[in-house]
Amino acid sequence: MQISIISKKESDFSCDALILPFFEDDYGYYDNLIPSLSKQIHKVFQKEFSGKLNQTTLINCPENLKYDRVLLAGLGKKEDITSEKIRQSSAKATCFLRDIGMKEIAISSGLISSSGFSISSFLEGSLLSLYKYNRYKKDDNSKNINSITILSEYSKKLEEEIKKTKIIVDAVYFARDLINTPANDLTPSKLANISKSLENKLTSVTVLEKPDLEKLGMGSYLSVSKGSDEPPKFIIVEYKGKEIPPVVIIGKSITFDSGGISLKPSEGMEKMKYDMAGGATVLGVIKAVSELELPVHIIGILPATENLIGSSATRPGDIIRAYNGKTIEIISTDAEGRMTLADAICYAKNYNPSVIIDIATLTGACSIAFGNTAIAMMGNSPEFMEKLKISGLNVYERVWEMPLFEEAKEYLKSDIADLKNSGGKSGSLCSSAYFLYEFANNTPWIHLDIAGTAWNDKDKPYIPKGASGIGVRLLFDFICNLK
């Protein structure tokens, strides 16, 4: 995909199709810019198009213009404009043009920049919407856009915004690709190898192997891997752009979750390849941060394993000992994510982090509570949680705080061990977070449950169905805004 900024006039530029954004009921903006189109624009405004959000109308151009088509794209009311609406509108317009076979498209940026927003939001929506996962199709006959040109005055600031947008979109694509990859092609070992590809002068990758983990005493994490022949890989990716206490981000990395002996129902089980979405998010974030060489210190941890059902698998009723010495009674082998995260959180404390954030497809209850509209957040650090809420609004990957009530502890009491790994389905969104809290204790820590948002069964404006890559833009924004 070729992306460029060109400071030509709208009337003097050649491409397959030009997108003209419009506010609702406001049709005059292009009268002077493209006089030969004004009559047609006024006409459609009297009939089928009013500039409502995500509305589009295609116009065939008069011969004096160097493009055949113009697409009017509605942004909704001027006074209600947000960068999210710009992303949605651009996604709608871009996919429409792709689907009718346009290859070289351009976008007029004046209206959006004159209302105080960056055209990079428009580009972000376009690029995110064009994502496709077709690695396993023999013939890919699908239509593609080859170039997007932004018609705008050149400025260093705009160039930088566009560079940043490309990097962040690449990181989201990277995460989506990993999540969409079936579990036979994305084992913990493959995930470790892909992580190693992120190595560069500021980024180092260490993989702890099973014997290392046994020596460290990570019994909680290892208990999950026992049912699989695929070895566990505890992946540590460190990006050091500045010598300061790190932010540790831990991503749940179950490359396939069958439930183990507490086997899941078969319906929909194929989707459990996305149980490593947290880990993919962490890699995406570090990729973006390192490409921009941000002055931050980030450590990503991916405790990767499969959760299968071989003859050495952990049984319900087994008691294991975690890295911090606590004993855990296994009630359900399907509550495996927390087992891997508990050891990872304790291990993260060794780095004296400023904050630990874990991101995980942890509970079905999250998806029941929020569908795919919000990330559930729980933690012990009001200060960092506030920052995440703000980032969530900025990038429209919204987080919603749920309580860490002490009463949740009751659900996790075991008669014969320090705690049990599941308090049952009732209240499990909160009790699973409380389980993690038992390992984080006083260290600033936040848990993000993305079980509902990491995968979509239907297309959304700039998220094609399948893996959403949610969390990459959220955590990237959070890291950019750390002082």
What's the per-residue H, E or C state across 49-117?
A: CCCCCCCEEEEECCCCCCCCEEEEEECCCHHHCCHHHHHHHHHHHHHHHHHCCCCEEEEECHHHHHCCC
Per CB under 5 A, 275 contacts Zn ion: yes
Start-end of H helices in 349-395? 364-370, 382-395
DSSP string for 123-152: HHHHHHHT----TT-S--------EEEEES
**Residue ranges in 351-370 that form contacts with ligand BES under rule CB under 6 A:** 361-365, 367
State which residue has the least CB distance to ligand BES. 364
Residue of 77, 164, 196, 264 marked catalytic: 264
Which residue lies nearer to Zn ion by CB, 85 or 252?
A: 252
Q: How far is the CB of 336 from Zn ion (least distance, A)?
A: 6
Tell me if residue 66 is catalytic: no
Per CB under 6 A, 422 contacts ligand BES: yes
Per CB under 6 A, 372 contacts ligand BES: no
Distance CA 97, CA 76 (A): 20
Cα–Cα distance list, 353 to 271, 338, 358, 417 (Å): 33, 20, 13, 29
Per CB under 5 A, 24 contacts Zn ion: no
**Residue 451 partner contact from ligand BES, Mn ion, Zn ion, none using kind-dependent CB cut-offs of 5 to 8 Å:** ligand BES
**Residue ranges in 248-277 that form contacts with Mn ion under rule CB under 5 A:** 257
**Residue ranges in 333-362 that form contacts with Zn ion under rule CB under 5 A:** 337
Count of residues that bind Zn ion according to CB under 5 A: 4
Per CB under 5 A, 449 contacts Zn ion: no
**Residue ranges in 170-229 that form contacts with Mn ion under rule CB under 5 A:** none
DSSP string for 10-46: GGG---SEEEEEE-TT---TTTTTSGGGHHHHHHHHH
Per CB under 5 A, 260 contacts Zn ion: no
Among 89, 281, 428, 443, binds ligand BES (CB under 6 A): 428
Distance CA 258, CA 22 (A): 49
Tell me if residue 315 is catalytic: no
Residues with catalytic roles: 264, 338
User: Which stretches of the chain bind Mn ion, using CB under 5 A?
Assistant: 257, 334, 336
Binding positions for ligand BES, rule: CB under 6 A? 257, 275, 332, 334-337, 361-365, 367, 422, 425, 428, 451
